[in-house]
Amino acid sequence: MTRLTNIFLRLREQSQIWFSRFIILVLLGLIFFVAGGGVSHNKKWQIIQINVEGANAVSSDEIREIALEKILGNYFLVYARNNSHLFPESEIAQTLLHTFPRIASVSAVRDDEHTITINISERKPYVLWCGEEQSSKDCWFIDEGGFVFDKAPEFSKGVYIEVYGKLVEKNAEKPLRASVPFDRFAVANTFVKLLRESIGKPFRIALKPEDEIEVTMYTSAKHPFLADVAIRFNDASDPAVLINNLEKAILTQFPNNTSPKKKLQYIDMRFGSKVIFGFEQ
């Protein structure tokens, strides 16, 4: 019994020693934590200047204002957020991306003890998304990836290509931050690029149901009769093959570039290598 009592007393003594050491370590950690927080407030590392690079359409002052808001206060009530070594880079970047859809990418970096720079990359207007139906003229800028990022003013016909079709990830109220179906848009966009290089200038892309795409011509110095002609093809088509078939069919249908007797309305390329010309009745 005495032996068991001694073992118990020794265990209790060791537990008290370990507990005392634990308390000491916690107190030391707390002291270092608070001391580190005090050091972080040293004016030697206080952010005084915020530079903004790459912002054109987005206001540099608004970007700077958001960054200033994010460096106010402290982390865990102790560490200074306006310390040039500790400022919340990721938080600033994420807030700016959420606030300004026109911003494609952003990074915040430390330049020196008192200066940080926010580098902005903006989305560039590529084409216009103008609604699901061609009767709509409520147009928005989209970038080359099909992302809707800003309301567009009115433009004359042909300044920008107009895209029509349903959006994906669309907000219930506005198309902002939605996008056109990427795969379908990529096929149409590649076809349009090739069309510009070899035949003429298009002005409209319609992403229709039933996997159909329709591209409408604006002008063609090579084949003037193609103005306002709609070219139809399927999503699964190879744009390079389409262009090749189209050029051959035009040369066959209109030898020596002779103008048609009736107005050409559409060119249907949805049936393999077959090309159908539709004329006004």
Chain segment 214-247, per-residue pLDDT in tens: 999 999 999 999 999 999 999 999 999 999 999 9
Lowest-pLDDT choice from 36-40, 62-66, 155-159: 36-40
pLDDT of residue 36: 46
69-124 residue pLDDT tens = 999 988 867 778 889 988 999 999 999 999 999 999 999 999 999 999 999 999 99
**33 pLDDT more than 50:** no
Could you give the domains of the chain? 43-122 (3.10.20.310), 127-279 (3.40.50.11690)
DSSP codes, the chain: -HHHHHHHHHHHHHHHHHHHHHHHHHHHHHHHHHHHHHHHT-GGGB--EEEEES-SSS-HHHHHHHHHHHTSSEETTTEETTBTTT--HHHHHHHHHHH-TTEEEEEEEEEETTEEEEEEEE----EEE--SSTT----EEE-TT-BEEEE-----TTSS-EEES--BS--SS--TT-B--HHHHHHHHHHHHHHHHHT-EEEEEEEETTTEEEEEEEE-SS-GGGTT-EEEEETTS-HHHHHHHHHHHHHHHSGGGPPPSS-EEEEEEEETTEEEEEE--
